[in-house]
Chain A
Amino acid sequence: MSDATLAVSSSGGAPKVSKISEAIIRIAGNSQDGIQAIGGFLARLAGRSEQEVMTFMTIPSTISGGPSIFQVRIGSGEVLSSGDDADVLLAFYQHSYEEHISSLKKGGIALYDSDHVEPKEEWKKDYYHVGIPISSLTVEAIGGTAKDKGKNIYSLGLIAKMFDLNVPKLEKLVTERFTGKDPSIAKNALAAFHAGYSRSVGNLIETFHFVESQKREGQQIVMNGNEALGFGLIAAGVRFGAGYPITPWSDIMELLRRELPKYGGTFVQTEDEIAAISMAIGAGYAGRVAVTGSSGPGISLKTEALGWAVMAEIPLIIVDVQRGGPSTGMPTNIEQSDLNIACFGGHGDSPRVVLAPSTVEDCFYTAIEAVNIARSFNVPVFILSDQAIATRIEAFPEPNLEKVCQDISPDLTTVADHKPYDLSAPNSVTKRVVPGTRIASGKYPIATGLEHDELGHPTGSPKLHMAMSAKRRKKLQALANTLPVPKVYGPPEGNVLLVSWGSTQGPIREAVDRARAAGDSISGLDLRHINPLPNGLENIFSGFHHVLVVETNDEGLYGYGQLAGVLRARFADPKIRGINKTDGLTWKVKEILERVTAKLASNGK
């Protein structure tokens, strides 16, 4: 970590201002304390200040209450992961303090609500302790019946003071957030904020000031991965969707239900997961590119219908916001264990496309790419997101919406003749002719799950089954030929190549940076296209002695995870090995580096 990161002098002398380039703040409390709101404000402020920001949060799966954390990392340079150890821990309760003190770096600041937290003497030498009666001061500031509601905003004021944050911008954010409700709520929120801000933390510890970040062109927007995916689908022209509530996919479904009507679209909450995918496929058959999605067990329920969409060659988007499995598993924890079901789930040979966005920004663009692949190749496309990307907030350059938004309305112009499963079509991709279209020849197509002839009528012919199986496969092979070869992060040759997919991209890049700075020969490779894989990976792998696939899933029976298994099957290369974990948390940079060292040592090299 750079020298300019936060470090507290324990001299206890006059308050001073230090320049820092980044800070990691962990806020720990209960889920009803609105700590996500503090994180959200900080993230949004960073976005407006041209700073990089990344957040990490855990929410309990219990219905109400329960411990919850929000970690925000703000930097003047590039921020790739949510950070390892926190510089500041803001603890609302004893359990928050005790459970999270270990995530604080030595010498870091433990800022706690002295109304609820009894600090431990033995920890005082390692961490700089600052106790403030946050609850009672909040009540004092707001008064009335508010109780300690608003202590999150009071704490935001404390943090603003500590980090010399832009007060007018924060005031504006707070006002915006509470506008539209009872005006006294916005007033109280601002009162709490100012009370926190004017509490003289400065007398207790030094304050910090972020060094200027590089000027960017254009504005940044701030959102989480679920929002980026949902809005990406809208930009892509998706106007129909269906889903069933399940964490953490529900956010996307709620967003689409709320937003689509503005665009003349509809999102339907169905009776179950099977109805959801079936309705989306129905709309796809009728000329849309429709979306369904789920998490965990919901994905399993959809696989029979998915097979139909493959067979009938219907475009479809399936969003899978992965969580810990199998079964109900760990609903609010991070895991990347649905790669196999996304690539292979279902009966029979059913080739489909699988994409995995690696950042929040990438969620937006992956949604558009997925829609365009689905409609160009008449195929279901999985978007494999995960809990880590879904809930973390990032700032990224605002997309040029006028340019990226597209209209994908069906074309109902009369055609002379039509074969929905034309075997002579280039790249095996047939142009779709949807209901509502007149076919002059008078021969109309049937979309079907039975093996079929070129018009969609059932056949038991082995020859046709072979030809049609090949057709469905060849489309994906044609797609693979169009995919760009992914870029190696770092030098294209060296000792170790760390391969990632999805949310592990950030920590891996940071691990590569840190290892290279220490003189190690390590590069990174992030795969966004999981099925089909892009061509030319073997050439990249040949430049390295070790190819280590870092995944948040189990190491499996044979010592490597799900993507590593795919890569081994594809390249039959024993130097492809896995680094895996299933603790439900994002990868820390130091954790990756330690595991790499151990892996290399285990090889005797």
Chain B
Amino acid sequence: MNEAIAEIPARTGNIVVAPSPAEAERKGLTRKEIVADHPTWCPGCGDFSVLALYFKLIEKRKLWHEKITTIAGIGCSSRFPYFVQAHGAHYIHGRALPFASGVSLSRPDLHVFVFGGDGDAFSIGGNHFNHTARKNIKLTYVVMDNWVYGLTKKQTSPTSPLGFKSKTDQWGAVDYPINPMKQAISAGATFVARTTHTNPNHVLQMMEAAMDHDGFSFVECLSECVEFYEGAFDASNPRKGGAFNLVPPTHDVTDELAAYKLAGEPFPGSFGVFYKVNKPTKNTKEAEINRGMMEKVKGLKDWQILQKSFDRMK
């Protein structure tokens, strides 16, 4: 965590972090302690593996219940927070990112994880995706992309490929799909990675790397909808005769154009970190502004700062 951010609460007494009861002595959480409601997903849904790997991440990284916040919008995958035993919020359709930004910017002591689907991220919430990325707000966003609207039972999604037959495109999808990776790179996301639910180790790797990134970290995770788009991702699954290709080791993750090129590969494309650069986050920048402004009113209580403003209005 950025030290500069942690200073703010102390200044205003805004956040009173209780002295951690021998933080080091606390054992990591067990899977049993992290599991909440049984998922409502259909048997065989790809989202199960993303959830299982989130649990694994919490276990492995010794994250405490109270230190993480799991946030989602609306959609099958967005049911996620109910299944995790931790503070969480199930917000409205498409707006999980601005909600999570409110948490991230006001609570530097928390790890903020956002889970959602392709409709949430690229259709109704498309603009929020762009702006959260360009503001580089510190949070991790995992989009479980299934190329279809599942919760509402098979309508075309913004990532459905051309020709996909759905209840709203009986003759096959006619609108060109959004490429999540291109979208993320061009919006200014500072961490952009791609994975698939059929490769658990890789999912965990990407989630860990995303969590450790200081900034807006985006992971597209292919997650098959066995009910409404069965076999969508077979070409990326070696067990189904497909190919799981890692991002070539020669790829420079700080090269935006190279990343964009990778994103343009035909399906199944590559998996791994496409793009990663270190840029100051909005969290850090705001903290810097605050530090500068607070320096000018050093030693004053809040009411005295306000008094100074009022004295100029007499």
Contacts and interface: CB of A to CB of B under 8 A. Distances in A.
A259 B309 contact: yes
Contact of A438 (B65, B99, B127): B65
Contacts of B107: 283, 286-287, 435-436
Interface stretch (A57-65, A270-278, A562-570, A577-585): A270-278
B309 A274 contact: no
**A219, A221, A444 — most chain B CB neighbours (10 Å):** A444
Interface in B59-116: 64-67, 69, 71, 81-82, 85-92, 95, 98-103, 105-107, 109-110
A262 B86 contact: no
Nearest to A224: B313
A448 interface: yes
Contacts of A401: 303-304, 306-307, 310
A407 B102 contact: no
B105 A268 contact: yes
Contact of A308 (B15, B91, B286): B91
Nearest to A287: B107
Chain A residues touching B, majority SS: mixed
A414 interface: yes
B310 A286 contact: no
Contact of A436 (B110, B131, B310): B110
Given A409-B15, A436-B66, A448-B89, A275 B296 contact: no
Given A264-B11, A271-B128, A411 B16 contact: yes
Contacts of B66: 412, 435-439, 444
Contact of B128 (A275, A434, A444): A275
Interface stretch (B213-221, B260-268, B271-279, B287-295): B287-295
Contact of A265 (B12, B86, B98): B12
Nearest to B33: A442
Nearest to B64: A438
A266 interface: yes
A244 to B, nearest CB: 11
A278 B103 contact: no
A111 interface: no
A436 B67 contact: yes
B88 A409 contact: no
Given A221-B310, A312-B89, A263 B302 contact: yes
Contacts of B286: 261, 266
A235 B109 CA distance: 25
Contacts of B105: 240, 266, 268, 279, 283
Contacts of A280: 102
A405 B303 contact: yes
Interface string A425-466: 000000000111111001111111110000001100000000
B305 A279 contact: no
B307 A305 contact: no
Contacts of B87: 434-437, 444-445
A409 B12 contact: yes
Interface in A234-262: 234-235, 239-240, 242, 259, 261-262
B199 to A, nearest CB: 29
Contacts of B71: 282
B14 interface: yes
**A262, A281, A434 — most chain B CB neighbours (10 Å):** A262
B13 interface: yes
A223 interface: yes
Chain B residues touching A, majority SS: helix
Given A231-B309, A436-B107, A279 B13 contact: no
A240 B286 CA distance: 12
A168 to B, nearest CB: 15
Contacts of A220: 314
Interface string B8-20: 1101111111100
Nearest to A222: B313
Contact of B92 (A283, A288, A308, A411): A308
A585 to B, nearest CB: 27
Contacts of A407: 12-14, 302
Interface in B172-217: none
A220 B310 CA distance: 10
Nearest to A311: B92
A457 B87 CA distance: 12
B297 interface: yes
Interface string A393-405: 0000011011011
B25 interface: no
Contacts of B296: 262
B90 A405 contact: no
Contact of B98 (A274, A438, A446): A274
Contact of A282 (B15, B99, B314): B99
Contact of B106 (A283, A305, A443): A283
Contact of B313 (A223, A262, A263, A275): A223
Contacts of B3: none
A457 B82 contact: yes
Given A409-B12, A443-B85, A450 B313 contact: no
Contact of A283 (B64, B102, B290, B305): B102
Contact of B99 (A239, A259, A285, A436): A285
A48 interface: yes
**B100, B289, B292, B310 — most chain A CB neighbours (10 Å):** B310
Contacts of B101: 268, 275, 279, 282
B41 to A, nearest CB: 14
Contacts of B293: 261-262
Contact of A444 (B12, B85, B99, B304): B85
15 contacts: A44-B313, A265-B12, A265-B290, A268-B101, A271-B130, A276-B98, A281-B99, A282-B91, A282-B99, A282-B100, A287-B15, A405-B306, A435-B69, A435-B110, A447-B88
Given A264-B290, A284-B102, 20 more contacts: A240-B106, A242-B98, A261-B292, A262-B297, A264-B294, A266-B290, A270-B98, A275-B98, A275-B127, A285-B99, A305-B92, A305-B95, A409-B16, A410-B14, A412-B18, A436-B109, A439-B66, A447-B88, A449-B90, A449-B91
